[in-house]
Structure 1
């Protein structure tokens, strides 16, 4: 699903206008118009918000987005990820890719500490 199709699906699924969608995902309407016209690219986070509004799997949308943008070798990698990973694992990888390193490291460190504390007791 390309950007324009995703936008239309979100509008249809929610019944919102383009202005309403822009507000729902936290961007300005002119930005959404430029995106719809193919003049700009929205962030992964915005794609995820739109996918949820459209009622489609965000992992599939992000994989498709990166597959379209990648070169031939990158497309092969994204295609193999789409086939090999269960949807929940693909979503986890996407979240890790879009989460700043420090935040992800801090979250994982807390989890490790909690898990180690549990086993020590």
Structure 2
């Protein structure tokens, strides 16, 4: 009995998973494909030669900008977490309507 059930399941799976082209396969195959863009070569990928001074400076500049952006995000998250606890955090930004001194508590502690 188990053998006949297994054969029936295999037959159904063979019908479902067939290599025959379907109704939309011709349209899919006719669609133009673009080659993937090659990854830019890292200056550190050359094992026996180091990057030039210009390549290293550009790489460090990009890393510094990323680190600065992450620092701003971290500070915003810290301010939001402390705000949920009811603590004023002196978080200011360029063009803020209030200075950092506005957060100085007048004898009030959280």
Q: TM-score of the superposition, structure 2-length normalised?
A: 0.24
Q: Which structure: greater helix fraction?
A: 1
Q: TM-score of the superposition, structure 1-length normalised?
A: 0.22
Query: Relative contact order (alpha carbons < 8 A, sep ≥ 6): 1 or 2 greater?
Result: 1
